[in-house]
Amino acid sequence: MTGPVGAGRTRRVFRVLSLTGFVLLASLPIGAALRPAGADTVTDLQAQAATIAHDLVLEQLQVDAAQQQTSVAASQVAADQQAINHLDQQLAADQQSMAQELHVVQAEAIQTYVNSGADSSSGDASLFSGNSAKAQAASEYATLAAGTITSDLAQLHTAQHALEVQQTQLQTRQAQDRADEAKRNAALGQASTAAAQLQSEQALVTGQLAGAVAAQQAAQARAAAAAVASTPKVASHPTTTATIPATTQVTGTSTGGTSTSPPTSAPTAPSSGGTDGDPYPSLPDPALNGFLTCVVQAESGGNYGVVSPNGLYMGAFQFSQSTWNTAAQAAGLGLLVGVPPNLATRAEQDTVAVTLFNLDGQQPWLGDRCSG
């Protein structure tokens, strides 16, 4: 690429997802009564927990979409009000201009009257005294001046009427935008309420699952203890254990004709950083469908290490950090939570993107040319 991704075009906003724990999620209808822990097996509770997790992710996507739509509606209402305020200023200026023009008309009329009687006691006297040309000129001047002012006033009235029509249209549009804003706020409230109910049910199922697991472990411990207690006791006989030289234990070679195997060490947990800093060095790279292949080119030109100019979107799919965290958790890649997407490997980014697509389809990339 020759320049930053996203430069010169409107930035598509990823949904902001927050998930407090993807491990225990279950599909209970909102408001449904939960069965006591003793009535469910651990497997049943785990299935319920998994479905609630999926439902909660989708509901939180709806909450975020509603938040964005509410923000857009509020911005539109504010823009409408700004336009109306501008028109109000124009109307006030036009009314002031009309008042000034009327003042000019009055001044011109007085001046014409004074000028028409300057050389005689009255305009009638000037007519009878033979000064009819001057009287006619004064009359024509007055008519012309009045006509010009009248024309100006007519134009001002026309302009003012056009502004008033535009103002009415803006006020109507603002009323519609306010209604849309109220509708978006109501949708946001409903989505938030549904998400809160799912979170409450998730907490209940989590508690029940913990109790069921503890009860299962206790039962297994009791069964093991009973089995040990019922085993016949066998007299023990002293045994002699040969001492194995340290070198023999390490290398597995034999001394004195006796072969021994090296001791088995305790399993070591996989390193979170792998050999090259990658938490999942053996993760296979999943195939991308046509839509996600398009997204990679549209968002980053195929650059998996790119960061948007504002620093908010990262990697080939231009994830926000919060969206990446949730999708990585959903993909079972918990070690990637908090890792900047552009620092993850191609296989990891592709896996998280495929998981997000499977959860919410094209919704996270709305506004991208691929979703058109």
Instruction: Report d(CA 46, CA 108) in Å as an integer.
Output: 93
Q: Would you state the pLDDT for residue 288?
A: 97
- pLDDT of residue 123 exceeding 90, the answer is no
* Buried/exposed code over 135-156 (b: 16+ C-beta within 10 A; e: otherwise): beebeeebeebeeebeeebeeb
Residue 299 or residue 70, greater confidence: 299
Q: Which range among 85-89, 313-317, 329-333, 340-344 shows the weakest confidence by mean pLDDT?
A: 85-89
Residues 58 and 199 in one domain: yes
In the structure, what pLDDT confidence band is assigned to residue 95 with cuts at 50, 70 and 90? confident
Residue 334 lies in a domain: yes
Residue 100 lies in a domain: yes
**Position 24 pLDDT exceeds 60:** no
- Residue 132: per-residue pLDDT: 61
CATH of residue 111: 1.10.287
With bands split at pLDDT 50, 70 and 90, how would you rate the model's confidence at 240? very low
Tell whether 46 and 192 lie within a shared domain. Answer: yes
In a domain, 275, yes or no: no
Tell whether 305 and 175 lie within a shared domain: no
Task: Give 96's pLDDT tier (boundaries 50, 70, 90).
Answer: confident
Asked if residue 92 and residue 174 are part of one domain, the reply reads: yes
Say whether pLDDT at 39 is over 50: no
What pLDDT was estimated at residue 18?
38
Q: What is the percentage of the chain residues whose pLDDT exceeds 90? A: 26
Kindly report, residue by residue over 186-235, the tens digit of the pLDDT: 988 988 899 898 888 888 888 888 878 878 777 878 887 787 777 665 44
Q: Please, which residues have CB within 8 angstroms of residue 363's CB and are 6 or more apart in sequence?
A: 15, 61, 65
Distance CA 47, CA 235 (A): 48
- 3-state DSSP assignment of residue 255: strand
Q: Which residue has the higher pLDDT, 169 or 264?
A: 169
Are 198 and 56 spatial neighbours (Cβ–Cβ below 8 Å)?
yes
Sign of CA dihedral 247, 252, 253, 255: positive
**Whole-angstrom Cα distance, residue 103 to residue 97?**
10
Domain shared by 81 and 159, yes or no = yes
3-state secondary structure of 69: helix
pLDDT confidence of residue 247: 34
How confident is residue 289, by pLDDT bands cut at 50, 70 and 90? very high
How far apart CA 110 and CA 145 sit, in angstroms, is 12
For residue 239, being part of any structural domain is answered with: no
Of 194, 219, 244, the position where a domain reaches its end is 219
How confident is residue 22, by pLDDT bands cut at 50, 70 and 90?
Answer: very low
Angle at 339 between CA 334 and CA 343, to 5 degrees: 125
Quick one: angle between helices 346-360 and 321-330, nearest 10? 80
279 assigned to some structural domain: no
pLDDT digits (tens, 9 = 90+) for 275-284: 346 889 999 9
- pLDDT of amino acid 134: 58
With beta carbons less than 8 A apart as the criterion, state whether 87 and 173 touch: no
Angle, vertex CA 82, rays to CA 79 and CA 83, nearest 5: 90
Which structural domain, as residue segments, surrounds residue 298? 285-372
For residues 66 and 197, state if they share a domain.
yes
Instruction: Tell me the CATH number at 346.
Output: 1.10.530.10
Mean pLDDT within 241-267: 36
Beta strands in the chain (DSSP E): none
For 138-170, how does the pLDDT look when each residue is reduced to its tens digit (9 = 90+)?
666 666 666 666 777 787 778 878 888 988 998
> End of a domain among 219, 247, 262?
219
Cα–Cα nearest to 356, from 335, 329, 334: 329
- Tally the domains of the chain: 2
Last residue of a domain, one of 192, 219, 246: 219
**Residue labelled with tokens 């024309």:** 151
Distance CA 320, CA 115 (A): 80
The reported pTM is: 0.44
Q: Give the model's pLDDT for residue 369.
A: 86
Residue 314: DSSP 8-state? B
Q: What is the pLDDT of residue 266?
A: 34
